[in-house]
Chain A
């Protein structure tokens, strides 16, 4: 008899609570934006934050509400943009060109002079706190690899010479490395760019020559002898205009006295 009572109490309790849950599920239901769900499914899911929204879900919900501009997803590129446009029923907007990060420095610890021997935490900002880094060049790479550790796709690695390099095929253009870099030596270049300037120094030529053997000395050979290379020198630093045809860039790279025009791919 006792068993029956227990059984009845538990059963009726379960029935009652179940009923409550059923009512609550209907009454307190949270409305889901189905379009946001769909958009989230086509986004790459890297959660890199390059679009400026907190992760892919944040961007998807902003897109579905019409608050965000389509085409901000740099990892997804044109494909994702088109898919999102289809879901939203709008025309695919012009996609921004795919940009990749590039470390504008090849001055490793042997090629560039050091001011002191850094012994602190393995973090570029930590070295930058002390006299803007141990490198005599205050514009260059500090080689402690903070960028490498924040990269969501492991696109950045240290090469045999100790320089930091970005794999342009793996880079999704999320800008995380550019934000963590204290000397701002990582800047974005178009992914199609064949060459890049491997120097970030705005010091005068004489100063650069004294402290680094692979820095741009602002000699203007690239600009004057190879006018179709796309190189222009401002503030003692050569810069490539990627909109130009860049037909002579290979020759300019050959002619550069400190060979700081390097292949980017």
Chain B
């Protein structure tokens, strides 16, 4: 039997809890009464507003213009009216200007017709990706057109598509690969046309065997040059650095990008969005969100419009009991928030609600220097040392101890027997050390 690959250094095995929602087919959430569309849904400069209060908007119409090189356009998900331009706080504590859009009562949704796309050149495809506001759907929301524009002098020899979904609870990518395998695979082929890789790999963790079968079936039907690689389950395999290590055995040097080792990494949900953009001229106006957690009555995978309030999702899924904490994203790297009026943005892969019992925090005790965090860190850092430096406000020292290589995956905090808030400390250290 062939050995199933994974990355070697560090990593953890949290209870994945995917069984709660991985049999729930994707459902479409009805159009809510009000949408909040923030202008800062991506990494980089916020988009500039193109509409004002009282303006009419069409579904798919551009309402925010990307402001600089690293930025992305924002589109209206529905036909409707802009009722306000407010400031909102997103789940990740970013304060952003946001359109409040009231959808029309009749026919709020746009109609997306299929168009022939085989004739588009690579440059035309890249322009479509840029104009339709596609950003990385995995959570980091990096504008995709920058990733797909390979700079002169660099070549891509591996396109690695991320179907790992290593975060516990989340099943949105799993359902997407299972139910829309054809579109995902076609999206991957479009990306391949833009980047010209020598090989194309889709990495999928071994706990999604049905998705692997579904993808392989579609690939075999069309005879596409794509390899689906099953990966041994280990968190944080969905990070691009660990994924490249697991699939093509390459290590990205500190502070570099996948392109520096000749690879492009892209999420399956991004590939799906690219296919929709190219084949239907449909901007990134909706995404699949897993609604799960112990406080949710029926866990679901919902297809929701960008800008839908969390309260609408919770009302649809039903709260079993009073939720104590909400998390946007997965439980390891997601953001805890308290306001259910927070909108879903392009990077929100899940909404989790927990009861007080489920998220209870153990009391913090002093570090005993056991070194478990060092063993768990996939980046080979020394979280214990970094924590001590940050605790003593030695921020520049912490920066010199490679604090910036920390990607806040939470492995160290997960294994810490003293329950120290290690990730919180790393985030704080980065913020204060950068000054």
Please name the residue on chain B nearest to A146 by beta carbon: B393
Is A132's beta carbon under 8 Å from chain B? yes
- A126, B89: Cα distance in complex, Å: 17
* CB < 8 Å A-B pair total: 33
Is A245's beta carbon under 8 Å from chain B? no
Instruction: Give the contact stretch, choosing among B153-161, B259-267, B281-289, B424-432.
Output: B424-432
- A115, B325: Cα distance in complex, Å: 12
Is A123's beta carbon under 8 Å from chain B? yes
Is A131's beta carbon under 8 Å from chain B? yes
Q: Which residues in window 111-151 of A have CB below 8 A to B?
A: 115-116, 119-121, 123, 125-126, 129-132
- Residues on A with C-beta less than 8 A from B89 are 131-132
Indicate if the CB atoms of A129 and B428 lie closer than 8 Å.
yes
Indicate if the CB atoms of A123 and B93 lie closer than 8 Å.
no
Please name the residue on chain B nearest to A149 by beta carbon: B393
Indicate if the CB atoms of A132 and B421 lie closer than 8 Å.
no
Chain B: minimal CB distance from A176 (Å): 11
Partner of B93, one of A121, A125, A131: A131
Indicate if the CB atoms of B428 and A123 lie closer than 8 Å.
yes
- For A, the interface residue count at a CB cutoff of 8 angstroms equals 12
Partner of A131, one of B337, B391, B424, B427: B337
- Residues on B with C-beta less than 8 A from A130 are 93, 336
Indicate if the CB atoms of A129 and B93 lie closer than 8 Å.
yes
Indicate if the CB atoms of A126 and B424 lie closer than 8 Å.
yes
Indicate if the CB atoms of B338 and A129 lie closer than 8 Å.
no
Indicate if the CB atoms of B431 and A120 lie closer than 8 Å.
no
Is B254's beta carbon under 8 Å from chain A? no
- A125, B336: Cα distance in complex, Å: 17
Chain B: minimal CB distance from A142 (Å): 13
Indicate if the CB atoms of A115 and B424 lie closer than 8 Å.
no
Please name the residue on chain B nearest to A120 by beta carbon: B424
Indicate if the CB atoms of A125 and B432 lie closer than 8 Å.
yes
Please name the residue on chain A nearest to B427 by beta carbon: A129
Indicate if the CB atoms of A116 and B421 lie closer than 8 Å.
no
Is B2's beta carbon under 8 Å from chain A? no
- Residues on B with C-beta less than 8 A from A132 are 89, 93, 95
Please name the residue on chain B nearest to A131 by beta carbon: B93
Indicate if the CB atoms of A125 and B431 lie closer than 8 Å.
yes
- A46, B274: Cα distance in complex, Å: 61
Partner of A120, one of B391, B421, B432: B421
Indicate if the CB atoms of B424 and A121 lie closer than 8 Å.
yes
Is B365's beta carbon under 8 Å from chain A? no
- A132, B89: Cα distance in complex, Å: 10
- A115, B336: Cα distance in complex, Å: 12
Partner of A116, one of B95, B338, B427: B338
- A123, B432: Cα distance in complex, Å: 12
- Residues on A with C-beta less than 8 A from B93 are 129-132
Indicate if the CB atoms of A121 and B425 lie closer than 8 Å.
yes
Partner of A115, one of B95, B338, B431, B432: B338
- Contact string against A for B residues 94-128, beta-carbon threshold 8 Å, 1 for contact and 0 otherwise: 01000000000000000000000000000000000
Indicate if the CB atoms of B361 and A121 lie closer than 8 Å.
no
Q: Which residues in window 404-435 of B have CB below 8 A to A?
A: 421, 424-425, 427-428, 431-432
- Contact string against A for B residues 309-352, beta-carbon threshold 8 Å, 1 for contact and 0 otherwise: 00000000000000000000000000011110000000000000
- Residues on B with C-beta less than 8 A from A126 are 424-425, 428
Q: Which residues of B contact A (CB under 8 A)?
A: 89, 93, 95, 336-339, 361, 391, 421, 424-425, 427-428, 431-432
29 contacts between A and B (CB under 8 A): A115-B339, A116-B338, A119-B361, A119-B421, A120-B424, A121-B391, A121-B421, A121-B425, A121-B428, A123-B428, A125-B428, A125-B431, A125-B432, A126-B424, A126-B425, A126-B428, A129-B93, A129-B424, A129-B428, A129-B431, A130-B93, A130-B336, A131-B89, A131-B93, A131-B337, A131-B338, A132-B89, A132-B93, A132-B95
